[in-house]
Amino acid sequence: MTAATATKTKPETAAQKAERKEDFIPIFKRLLDYMTRDEGAGKFYLGMAVRFVAVAALIAIPFMTGNAVDAIAGGDMAALQAWLMAALAATAIFIALSAWAETIFSKLATTALYRLQMHLFGHLQTLSLSFFDRQPVGELMSRVSNDSEAISIFYESAVSQLIRAGMQLLLLLVVMFFLNWQMTLAALLIVPVMLGLSAIIERVATPAFAKMQEEMGELSGFQEETLAGHKVIIANRRNDWAAAANEAYAKRVFDVGSHAFFSSLLQTPVTMASATMMIILVLTVGGLLVANGQLSVGEVIAFMGYAGLLASPLSIIANLTSTVLNAIAGGRRVFAIIDEQPAVKDAPDAKDYEFKGGHILFEDVDFSYTPGRKILRHNTFEAKPGQKIGICGPTGAGKSTIINILTRYYDVDSGRIVIDGQPLEKLTQRSLREQVGVVLQEAYLFSDTVMNNLKYARKGATDEECIAAAKQANAHEFIMNLPQGYDTMLTERGANLSQGQRQMITIARAMVAQPKILILDEATSNVDTRTEKLINEGLARLMEGRTSFVIAHRLSTIQDSDRILVLNAGEIIEQGTHDELMARRGFYYDLYMSQFKGKGP
């Protein structure tokens, strides 16, 4: 199951490690595909070609300066001038073509990242809620953003640099062998040592950085928790505990951080020392060859230049290994999401829902979020067109679950739901949700203007319709009192409004949608009395003439329902009107009376 890899945070098993190696190439290719698809392929090859010429020009430079040195040694002014002009020309070609290639690759890189972001985001929109239930939003979000950042570094620097380094390495080796194979072999003697050392550093540094990230995560997790909970700590006088724990976490970050940074910083001296060794080898062997009369001094110096050019691509490749591995790891997780299939799908023969008054029937419905843990059992009830159905029961009885399956956020395990004679599972999700309006307990608003939040409910809704809806929902007055009225920007989650005001906007929003059927998760528990009155009036207007379900936390809201369903542990244990249920002196009666604590009416 792909989802399993997506949510994996535990240490890997040996089998997973094997799988990791195996999928390296496919993921690499898939990542690269975002760069090279469509018109990208042509540009990519053009970039490679341009880069190739640029690298060739770069490699030609030491040859020319070498000849210039020979010209100085030979006292040939004209030759010196000619070779230097050639070197300058090669430099000019190099910089012009490099700039061109970098432009191409940077464009490709940002386009690739953009494509991947769009693909991922677009796909997330198609997934069912069950996917989002598997992990807290914060966790999913931080994973996705970290992974795309790792991939963006891969696109923006690794791809282009690897191409450049690879070409430079290849061309250099060819030229060097062509010029003098003995010196080339001498220069290459040091390469295995250098690569070996780099590989060791890599082996140590990469896990050390991962460990550091982990410890930093622990530290900031702790700090976030204790700062958010500062009131609890102050109230319980545990500041010393918090300070000591923080120091322990910070100490661990210090230890692993020192380890990680030190090991990665070793790469520089290793590269520098290896480059020097390479030059020493070249010069020693070169000196011997000059002494034998096989080479000129200028050629040795030119070769020294090549040896210097060889060190840089090698260290680039060594340095980029971790970047590539990080991007592959990120890609693996991102593609796991992209490959995820929505749990709730429209049936192949799905039809659009046709509204015929709003008659809803639950027949022996069973439901569970996770297999084996039934949340709803044998739920059977009927809502006639225009009826108000109240749902009550203790916390965790399954009240909100009824909403989730009626809007088909989830599919039922067994039994069936029929809406206006049409089986729910044969309807398209879109047509169903366009007709079924939901006001959720958590009044969620987007950081946008009030007007845009209202318009969110229905494409093409006019300003007038939205204002009319706001008036109906009793929201108009306070909206007009906001600094910019309907154009006031709401901050994230609408934090600059009170909870009651947010709730009123969500009610207005639901009105804009003009749904035929309504579901309300009543949420007035943290609202003062006056506001609550306004909200209830708004809700009453919203429900007028529509089949509606009201989940009640306060029984007074559903007292006038046409039918009240009393849920306990997933089963409907009583149903009827308020009066019927009170007369029965059962579960509902106890629930109702407990509110008064003996001081009842």
Partner 1 sequence: MIRSLSRTFIIFKMYRGRLILSQVLLLVSASSTIGVATLTQRLINDGIIAQNLEVIIDIGLWMAVLALVGGLSMAATAALAVFFAQGVAFGLRKYAYDNIQTFSFANFDVLRTGNLLVRLSADVNYVMLAILYMVMLVLYAPFMVLVALALTAIFAPSMLWLLILASVVVLGFMALLLPSLVKAYYERQDKLSDLNNTMQENLAGMRVVKAFVQEEREVEKFHDRAEAMRKPAYRAAVRVALMDPMLIMITQFFIALTLWVGGRQVIENMGLELGQVVMVMQYLAMVIMPLSMLAIAVPFILRGDTSAARIFEIIDARPFVQDKPDARTLNPEEMKGRVVFENVSFAFRRPDGKLDPPALKNINLTIEPGERVGFLGATGAGKSALVNLIPRFYDVTEGRITIDGVDVRDIPQENLRQMVGIALQEALLFRGTVHFNLKFGNPEVHDDVMIGAAQAADAFDFIMALPQQWDAHVARRGYNFSGGQRQRLAIARTLTAQPRVLILDDSTSALDVATESRVQEAIPRFTDNVTTLYVAQRISAVIDLDKIVLLQNGEIIAQGTHEELMESNQLYREIYESQLGAGLKPSSREAAS
Going residue by residue from 551 to 570, which x/- string records binding to partner 1, judged by CB under 8 A? --xx-xx-xx----------
Q: Does 37 bind partner 1 (CB under 8 A)?
A: no
By beta-carbon proximity to partner 1, the closer residue of 326 and 557 is 557
By beta-carbon proximity to partner 1, the closer residue of 299 and 420 is 299
Instruction: Provide the β-strand partners of residue 361.
Output: 382, 418
Q: How far is the CB of 88 from partner 1 (least distance, A)?
A: 5
Q: How far is the CB of 371 from partner 1 (least distance, A)?
A: 20
Look at residues 98, 87, 79 and name the one whose alpha carbon lies nearest to residue 61: 87
Q: How far is the CB of 349 from partner 1 (least distance, A)?
A: 20
Under rule CB under 8 A, which residues in 574-593 are in contact with partner 1?
A: 578-579, 582-583, 590-593
By beta-carbon proximity to partner 1, the closer residue of 181 and 241 is 241
Cβ neighbours around 174 below 10 Å, total = 12
CB neighbour list of residue 247: distance below 8 Å, 6 or more residues apart: none
Binding segment for partner 1 among 33-41, 67-75, 202-210, 474-482 (CB under 8 A)? Answer: 67-75
What is d(CA 500, CA 507) in angstroms, rounded to the nearest whole number?
Answer: 11
Alpha-helical segments (H) within 473-557? 476-481, 499-512, 529-543
* CA distances to 23, 26, 30, 151, 351 from 35, in Å: 19, 15, 9, 12, 39
By beta-carbon proximity to partner 1, the closer residue of 18 and 99 is 99
Helix (H, G, I), strand (E, B) or coil at 597: coil
By beta-carbon proximity to partner 1, the closer residue of 414 and 595 is 595
Q: How far is the CB of 15 from partner 1 (least distance, A)?
A: 27
Which of 23, 33, 156, 346 lies at the binding interface for partner 1 (CB under 8 A)?
Answer: 156
By beta-carbon proximity to partner 1, the closer residue of 18 and 489 is 489
What is d(CA 501, CA 538) in angstroms, rounded to the nearest whole number?
Answer: 12
Q: How far is the CB of 422 from partner 1 (least distance, A)?
A: 18
Going residue by residue from 486 to 525, which x/- string records binding to partner 1, judged by CB under 8 A? ------xx----xxx--------x---x-----------x
CA quadruple 455, 456, 457, 460: dihedral positive or negative? positive
Under rule CB under 8 A, which residues in 204-223 are in contact with partner 1?
A: 216, 219-223
Helix (H) or strand (E) holding 573: strand 571-576
Q: Does 124 bind partner 1 (CB under 8 A)?
A: yes
What is d(CA 135, CA 45) in angstroms, rounded to the nearest whole number?
Answer: 41
Q: How far is the CB of 309 from partner 1 (least distance, A)?
A: 9
What is d(CA 68, CA 87) in angstroms, rounded to the nearest whole number?
Answer: 9
Under rule CB under 8 A, which residues in 413-442 are in contact with partner 1?
A: 429-430, 433-434, 437-438, 440
What is d(CA 51, CA 165) in angstroms, rounded to the nearest whole number?
Answer: 10
Going residue by residue from 43 to 62, which x/- string records binding to partner 1, judged by CB under 8 A? -----------x---x--x-
Instruction: Provide the β-strand partners of residue 380.
Output: none
Under rule CB under 8 A, which residues in 88-107 are in contact with partner 1?
A: 88, 91, 94-95, 98-99, 102-103, 105-107
Under rule CB under 8 A, which residues in 223-282 are in contact with partner 1?
A: 223-240, 242-243, 246-247, 250-251, 253-254, 257-258, 261-262, 265-266, 268-270, 272-273, 276-277, 279-280
By beta-carbon proximity to partner 1, the closer residue of 36 and 498 is 498
What is d(CA 260, CA 129) in angstroms, rounded to the nearest whole number?
Answer: 39
Contacts with partner 1: how many residues (CB under 8 A)? 167
CB-facing half-sphere around the CA of 469: CA atoms within 13 A: 29
Given a contact cutoff of 8 angstroms between Cβ atoms, the answer to whether 35 and 110 are in contact is no
What's at 366, amino acid-wise?
Answer: D
By beta-carbon proximity to partner 1, the closer residue of 42 and 396 is 396
Which of 130, 368, 496, 536 lies at the binding interface for partner 1 (CB under 8 A)?
Answer: 536
What's at 300, amino acid-wise?
Answer: V
Going residue by residue from 282 to 301, which x/- string records binding to partner 1, judged by CB under 8 A? -xx-xxx-xx-----x--xx
Helix (H) or strand (E) holding 377: strand 374-383
CA–chain centroid gap for 330, Å, is 10
Spell 335-347 as b/e; 16+ CB within 10 A means b: bbbbebeeebebe
Q: How far is the CB of 137 from partner 1 (least distance, A)?
A: 5
Which structure tokens are listed for 202? 């890599």
Helices (H) and strands (E) in the chain, counts: 23, 10
Helix (H, G, I), strand (E, B) or coil at 587: helix
By beta-carbon proximity to partner 1, the closer residue of 250 and 325 is 250
Under rule CB under 8 A, which residues in 383-412 are in contact with partner 1?
A: 394-396, 407, 409
By beta-carbon proximity to partner 1, the closer residue of 24 and 344 is 344
What is d(CA 76, CA 74) in angstroms, rounded to the nearest whole number?
Answer: 5
Which of 328, 391, 511, 527 lies at the binding interface for partner 1 (CB under 8 A)?
Answer: 527
By beta-carbon proximity to partner 1, the closer residue of 111 and 326 is 111
Which of 31, 152, 333, 575 lies at the binding interface for partner 1 (CB under 8 A)?
Answer: 152
Look at residues 431, 511, 440 and name the one whose alpha carbon lies nearest to residue 475: 511
Under rule CB under 8 A, which residues in 300-359 are in contact with partner 1?
A: 300-301, 304
Q: Does 191 bind partner 1 (CB under 8 A)?
A: no
Helix (H, G, I), strand (E, B) or coil at 99: helix
Under rule CB under 8 A, which residues in 131-150 are in contact with partner 1?
A: 132, 136-137, 140-141, 144-145, 149
By beta-carbon proximity to partner 1, the closer residue of 14 and 481 is 481
Q: Which residue has the tokens 């244990």?
A: 573
Q: How far is the CB of 2 from partner 1 (least distance, A)?
A: 19
**DSSP state, 158?**
I
Q: How far is the CB of 434 from partner 1 (least distance, A)?
A: 6
What is d(CA 568, CA 447) in angstroms, rounded to the nearest whole number?
Answer: 38
Which structure tokens are listed for 234? 């102050």
Q: How far is the CB of 26 from partner 1 (least distance, A)?
A: 25
